[in-house]
Amino acid sequence: MGNCCERLGPQKNTYVRVSLPAVCLVWQIAMIILFGVFIRYGKESDAHWVEYKHKNNLTDIDNDFYFRYPSFQDVHVMIFVGFGFLMTFLKRYSYGGVGFNFLIASFGLQWALLMQGWFHSLDLDTGKIYIGVENIINADFCCAGSLIAFGALLGKVSPVQLMVVTLFGVTLFAVEEYIILELLHCRDAGGSMVIHCFGGYYGLAISWVLYRPNLHQSKQLHGSNYHSDLFAMIGTLFLWMFWPSFNSAIADHGDGQHRAFINTYIALASSVLTAVALSSMFHKRGKLDMVHIQNATLAGAVAMGTAAEFMITPYGALIVGFCMGIISTFGFVFVTPFLEKTLKLQDTCGIHNLHAVPGMLGGFLGAVVAAAASEDVYSKEGLINVFDKEGKYANRGMGTQGGYQAAGTCVSIAFGLVGGAIVGFILKIPIWGDAADDHCFDDEAYWELPEEEEETLPPVLEYNNHMIHKGQDITESSFCVEQS
């Protein structure tokens, strides 16, 4: 069994005992200092609210907390359980999937509060960022971009690299979001553009730069088993169920949140049916593939991100979901293998099909729906309200708004691709502790695994794999292997 221990044993190049603690501690200390300098409670979360409330004849229920906190909690579940468990599908990288997701989201949301604060909420008089529930939701959103990128890299990078991906991902996110939402004055409540399209292309660009020509050497671990796919379904379902909250969390109070949730709910239902239909149709025996059920069923919501708060109509939402279920499943079956073969693009979770393309299409869809908006459909006040036609934007025509929305989508793609390529090159520096091509998708590298791991691997297969790898000679007697 000595050899066996070697196989499962440490890989020199994945030693992160210095770099991982250093990055976590130093960056966390930096967060504390920056929070100390910049972050303060917002008006509605400060103890002064009691006086403010009395002065302005408000009641407690007017506090934004009661409008947004339930949606926040749903978003929070999506970020940590949704994304986290969706990435447990690999049979021996489930800890990495859910654990590193946990780590980088926890860092990302802190950094996002600062980055988004500087760009969106900085009070120029006091130099402080005043935070409340909406900032917190946006911080979770901002993390989502980096978590999407993680999907493309799953199993191939070290936790230290993921921290770097998140540091730059959040930074780029805050800048592109500022350009899209503030400078171009686009609407993007559910983040088709700023979250999914950006996050998708960001991850794909990094993965493209980090291409591993010999990844096939890890193929015995590059797949799921019966229960790991079931764990991943937990992630899928929590994403699917709570996506109506995601798209409505920061929509306008009242009808805006109400409509955004309905549109997303409807689009998602439709995606499930077409994803199932295509999954069965593309299999030679008509069987369903868990990869499609876990992912393509969600594509409708990604594409509804921008348009969810618009008057896209319920049947419009159904059509979006219908098309996205088809496009996404098609992508998993044909496009991802094609990209890997021709573009040398390795995309572990298929974020191309769930985030990049549906996000991009959602951005353009939002442009079209915005351009088609009219006072007939929205009412005069409604149109102003939905598209924030105030101040210098009061006279912007809806066609122009559509053009700006389309431009916003292009900005997000550009930020994703260029930013991702740069970050990819940074990650190629051989100091980050990533595994060799033949040791990817293996929790062994970064996790102390339970001793009884034999329990979930088939003993003889293990043994034989071992034999094959190590070229060990086996006589009959060697089947007297003992469980350690």
Our CB check for a copy of itself shows the closer of 292 and 352 to be 292
Listed as own residue / partner, the contacts of 331-337 with beta carbons closer than 8 Å and 24 or more positions apart are 331/296, 331/357, 332/289, 332/291, 332/292, 332/295, 332/296, 333/278, 333/282, 333/292
In whole angstroms, give the CA distance from residue 181 to residue 158.
Answer: 33
Q: Which of 362, 357, 367 minimizes the C-alpha distance to 404?
A: 367
3-state secondary structure of 33: helix
Our CB check for a copy of itself shows the closer of 106 and 217 to be 106
Shortest distance (Å) from residue 205 CB to a copy of itself: 26
Shortest distance (Å) from residue 190 CB to a copy of itself: 16
Shortest distance (Å) from residue 95 CB to a copy of itself: 7
Q: Which residue has the tokens 């190590």?
A: 470
Our CB check for a copy of itself shows the closer of 176 and 289 to be 289
Our CB check for a copy of itself shows the closer of 201 and 261 to be 261
Where do runs of H (alpha helix) occur along 117-158?
133-153
Shortest distance (Å) from residue 453 CB to a copy of itself: 6
Shortest distance (Å) from residue 209 CB to a copy of itself: 26
In whole angstroms, give the CA distance from residue 241 to residue 260.
Answer: 14
Our CB check for a copy of itself shows the closer of 400 and 456 to be 456
Whole-number Cα distances in Å, 170 to 21, 144, 148, 469: 21, 9, 12, 41
Spatial contact of 345 and 208, defined as CB atoms under 8 Å apart: yes
Inter-axis angle of helices 159-177 and 133-153, to 10 degrees?
130
Our CB check for a copy of itself shows the closer of 343 and 461 to be 461
Our CB check for a copy of itself shows the closer of 158 and 207 to be 158
Q: Which residue has the tokens 């036609």?
A: 389
- Spatial strand order in the sheet of 128-131: 39-41, 128-131, 122-123
Shortest distance (Å) from residue 203 CB to a copy of itself: 22
Q: Which two tokens stand for residue 210?
A: 């980090």
Our CB check for a copy of itself shows the closer of 370 and 413 to be 370
- Using the 8-state DSSP alphabet, how is residue 62 labeled? G
Spatial contact of 241 and 180, defined as CB atoms under 8 Å apart: no
Our CB check for a copy of itself shows the closer of 217 and 220 to be 220
Our CB check for a copy of itself shows the closer of 415 and 463 to be 463
Those residues whose C-beta lies under 8 Å from the C-beta of residue 201, and which sit 6 or more positions away, are: 356, 412, 413, 416, 417, 420
In whole angstroms, give the CA distance from residue 430 to residue 439.
Answer: 16
Shortest distance (Å) from residue 328 CB to a copy of itself: 15
* Cα 412 off chain centre by: 15
Shortest distance (Å) from residue 7 CB to a copy of itself: 15
Shortest distance (Å) from residue 404 CB to a copy of itself: 20
In whole angstroms, give the CA distance from residue 404 to residue 402.
Answer: 5
Shortest distance (Å) from residue 24 CB to a copy of itself: 4
Where do runs of H (alpha helix) occur along 117-190?
133-153, 159-177
